[in-house]
Structure 1
Amino acid sequence: MAKNGFTTTILHSDRRSTVEHGAIHKPMHPSSQYAFADARELVAVFQGKPGFTYARQGTPTTSALESKITQMEGGAGTVTFATGMAALAATFFTLLKAGDHLISSQHIFGNTNSLVGTLVGLGVEVTLVDATNVQNVIDAWRPETRMVFTETLANPGTQVADLMAIGDWCKEKGLVYVVDNTLVTPWLCQGIGMGASLVINSLSKHIGGHGNALGGAVTDSGLYDWSGYDNIAEPYRSGKPTSWGLTQIKKKGLRDMGGTLSSEAAHRISVGAETLALRMDRACSNALALAHFLSEHPKVAKIHYPGLADHPQHERAAGFFGNRFGALMGIELVDEVDLFDFLNRLKVLILATHLGDNRTLVLPMAHTIYYEMGAERRALMGISDNFLRVSIGIEDTQDLIDDFVQALE
């Protein structure tokens, strides 16, 4: 059969596997344990044969979602987690050890920044760099460097890392290259195309899309040969070396750390994922129209959105993301506008801390997610006191524009 397109593949993913009674969706499997009629079969599953033993390490429902995410990213395999942060934490904590060196983009999500600080406390050395220029990454290399981490589109400043050049350099140096693809999603950009070893997606955001479930995923692109990575434990050095890293992340992240995605959440995310491409196209269109309008508004000091021609990485984003620039933007209001009065006047936009929802969400950054890091670190990241993060939804475009107009007036 000819290869189907992105949405067709995801829509029919469940029914093309084994689904009971001809159902088109994989059902929820709430059972926490799985029984065996044959003791030898039970032992075989414990020792690596595909199957299910205890729901902490996955269920048929999470497995079906993992298959969808793997297809979305064009990868070799996926492990799902309870949240995107659990996916990130499992990746860092299971693949790095004290004395290792991590090079990370300095333009990263506030909670990820906090997680990086935790790594430092555990003895992992971290260098934060401006990843929009690959030379900054190269200059940070040390003999102890094991991993490079960046986001495809930075939250909330919308910087676009030098993704492909970093991937080429990581391949040359034999480094694990981890890319968080949450804001762009595999519909706009697959991590494997950037040379990523591992791709992180927060499934709570655009992939789930409806703000009704938390989840995260780590996808192995299949590009990295884990046989040369010293931190893979001996029990996981069996089978194809390209699978060793994901096996260790799954065993340590799910079995040992317990960051397990529930079957109910997996089912909701799986159904939401079917319309990812449609929703992202609408949200990207809304975002571009809103960015153009607000860039001309006298009470808006600056718009951070890669779809605008004056964005520092506009051409790069157009090439990487296919002329769709994502649904996230940063908005800086002029000092004369009282930030909180403006927010309280909004009627359509929702004042909430989330991203990638069908509804448009807005949040003041310096006073919330980035408050703990202090003024000096916020200044380094370009987060001013009047900086708003706006996650654009699928509402009617004119309604979003009108809401900004009335609130700014």
Structure 2
Amino acid sequence: MKDKGFTTRLVHADRMFNKPQDGSVHSPTSNSVLFEYQDVNDLVEVFQGKKLGHVYGRSSSSSNAALQNILADIEGGVSAVTFATGMAAISSMLLALLKQNDHIIVSQFLFGNTSSLMVTLENLGIQVSYVDTTNIKSISQALTDNTRLVFTETIANPVTQVADLQAIGEFCNINKLLFIIDNTMTPGYIFDAKAVKASLTVTSLTKYISGHGNVLGGAVVDTGFYDWSKYPNIFDLYRVGDSSSWGMTQIRKKGLRNLGATLAPQSAQQISVGLETLALRLNKTCQNALRLATYLHGHDKVANVYYPGLADHPQHYIARELFNGNYGGVFSMDLSPGLDIHKFINALNTVVIATHLGDTRTLCLPVASTIFYENGAEQRAQMGINDNMIRFSVGIEDTDDIVADFEQAFAQL
């Protein structure tokens, strides 16, 4: 399937990779919590990681394994682990890989919930440096002897800063650090994580991967680039066999198994079906977002528009290199001073007022008073978020209809 186009691979992935029984084109949902073994020695070998198999529904199932195979292929990775949500994937991964007194370098522009998780890690004795990941110098200056990893998003939400991923990848490679990328905003169709030497990618499957706002999920993918024999925190019990599997084994055992944020089998199948149209949806979404951002950029009632596709975006040329001419489906704007953002949002009819992104529908919300409210004014200012900012997640509607909706809402201000 490697020689096929992206959508062709997705549409046929389930039947080709997982080979469902009875000629099905989708793997069936497996709801069994327990798995019977005729020979106890087989059960023991699966428990000890010497043989592939399922022992308990919290740790694995055929439904999740089928989706994991597809996700690993999309990212060009060697393996994947699925979780109940994107935040479960991030928290389980980091808690599995880090120890007290470790140091990590993370983007100062992290999404609100992820940023909140970093505070929890600090309370557990993990040192966190928040830096501007658009500037490699700020990352290199934060490096210490106990630094274990660098974590950043590709495109920040909501101000759309683009991390200097190529430079960070080189830096991590030289210093033998894990390079973890949250590519929720730029799935594999848009962005090749292996090309920037990423070690792991983490994704909210809830967003663009499933794409329809009807199922929760998250995943971690190992790109195969990182040499896990260099990572000091791998438990001795997992330092057996091929070292390329050590990291994901630990994430599965200490993360998924111990923390228990298991993706439901029904959700796994639903995500795999939504995944088939990923490229089609992203193409339309990115086209719509660029047109809408360009339209708003020239509007007399808009002070600023934040979108990597605009030529005056600070990281426009980096984004153009990284994302193959696609700039994602999320942008934000500041209304001109003195205008009431709540009045504007309430005047919208086609655009849905909701906290979500990556949907087929165009969504919006006021940023400072909702998803970044807990961060406080000082941190919001550091992230470039002001009180007049509105975030949009663009859908696949006919663009003229969204423009018309904006126009009638502006007319009411």
TM-score interval w.r.t. the shorter chain?
A: over 0.9
- Quote the offset at 1:18 in angstroms: 2.4
With over 3 angstroms needed to count, the CA separation of the structure-2 counterparts of 1:310 and 1:2, relative to structure 1, is: closer
- Quote the offset at 1:335 in angstroms: 2.0
Greater shift, 6-15 or 344-353, is seen at 6-15
Amino acid of the structure 2 residue aligned with 1:351: I
- 1:1-400 aligned within 5 A: 3-16=3-16, 17-48=18-49, 49-400=51-402
CA offsets, 1:20-50, max 9 Å, x none?
Answer: 1000001111111111122111112111111
Q: Which whole-Å CA distance do the structure 2 matches of 1:18 and 1:130 have between them?
A: 45
Q: Which whole-Å CA distance do the structure 1 matches of 2:93 and 2:40 have between them?
A: 33
Secondary structure of the structure 1 residue equivalent to 2:188: helix
Give the unaligned 5+ runs of structure 1. Answer: none
Amino acid of the structure 2 residue aligned with 1:243: S
Amino acid of the structure 1 residue aligned with 2:44: V
Q: Which whole-Å CA distance do the structure 2 matches of 1:47 and 1:96 have between them?
A: 23
CA offsets, 1:269-289, max 9 Å, x none?
Answer: 000000000000000000000
Q: Which whole-Å CA distance do the structure 1 matches of 2:151 and 2:399 have between them?
A: 35
Q: Which whole-Å CA distance do the structure 2 matches of 1:109 and 1:2 have between them?
A: 34
Percent sequence identity is 50
Amino acid of the structure 2 residue aligned with 1:187: Y
CA offsets, 1:77-101, max 9 Å, x none?
Answer: 0000000001100111111111110
Greater shift, 334-343 or 156-165, is seen at 334-343
Amino acid of the structure 1 residue aligned with 2:37: F
Amino acid of the structure 2 residue aligned with 1:26: S
CA offsets, 1:209-257, max 9 Å, x none?
Answer: 0111100000001111111211111111112111111110011112110
Q: Which whole-Å CA distance do the structure 2 matches of 1:287 and 1:195 have between them?
A: 28
Q: Which whole-Å CA distance do the structure 2 matches of 1:251 and 1:404 have between them?
A: 49
Q: Which whole-Å CA distance do the structure 1 matches of 2:19 and 2:358 have between them?
A: 31
Q: Which whole-Å CA distance do the structure 2 matches of 1:345 and 1:2 have between them?
A: 48
CA offsets, 1:384-406, max 9 Å, x none?
Answer: 10111110000000011111111
Q: Which whole-Å CA distance do the structure 2 matches of 1:297 and 1:210 have between them?
A: 30
- Quote the offset at 1:2 in angstroms: 6.4
- RMSD of aligned C-alpha atoms? 0.9
Q: Which whole-Å CA distance do the structure 2 matches of 1:131 and 1:13 have between them?
A: 35
Q: Conserved in 2, the CA contact under 8 Å of 1:58 and 1:261?
A: no
CA offsets, 1:37-64, max 9 Å, x none?
Answer: 2211111211111111111011111111
Amino acid of the structure 2 residue aligned with 1:31: S
Q: Which whole-Å CA distance do the structure 2 matches of 1:273 and 1:37 have between them?
A: 36
Amino acid of the structure 2 residue aligned with 1:15: R
TM-score between both structures, scaled by the size of structure 2: 0.98
1:401 to 400, 403, 406: 403
Give the unaligned 5+ runs of structure 2. Answer: none
- Quote the offset at 1:13 in angstroms: 1.2
Amino acid of the structure 2 residue aligned with 1:175: L
Q: Which whole-Å CA distance do the structure 2 matches of 1:53 and 1:99 have between them?
A: 34
Q: Which whole-Å CA distance do the structure 1 matches of 2:321 and 2:109 have between them?
A: 20
Q: Which whole-Å CA distance do the structure 2 matches of 1:74 and 1:186 have between them?
A: 8
Amino acid of the structure 2 residue aligned with 1:157: V
Q: Conserved in 2, the CA contact under 8 Å of 1:15 and 1:24?
A: yes
Q: Which whole-Å CA distance do the structure 1 matches of 2:96 and 2:328 have between them?
A: 31
Amino acid of the structure 2 residue aligned with 1:116: M
Amino acid of the structure 1 residue aligned with 2:43: L
Q: Which whole-Å CA distance do the structure 2 matches of 1:195 and 1:157 have between them?
A: 25
- Quote the offset at 1:336 in angstroms: 2.1
Secondary structure of the structure 2 residue equivalent to 1:363: strand
Amino acid of the structure 2 residue aligned with 1:69: L
Amino acid of the structure 2 residue aligned with 1:5: G
TM-score between both structures, scaled by the size of structure 1: 0.99
Amino acid of the structure 1 residue aligned with 2:90: L
Q: Which whole-Å CA distance do the structure 1 matches of 2:326 and 2:242 have between them?
A: 37
Q: Which whole-Å CA distance do the structure 1 matches of 2:129 and 2:71 have between them?
A: 30
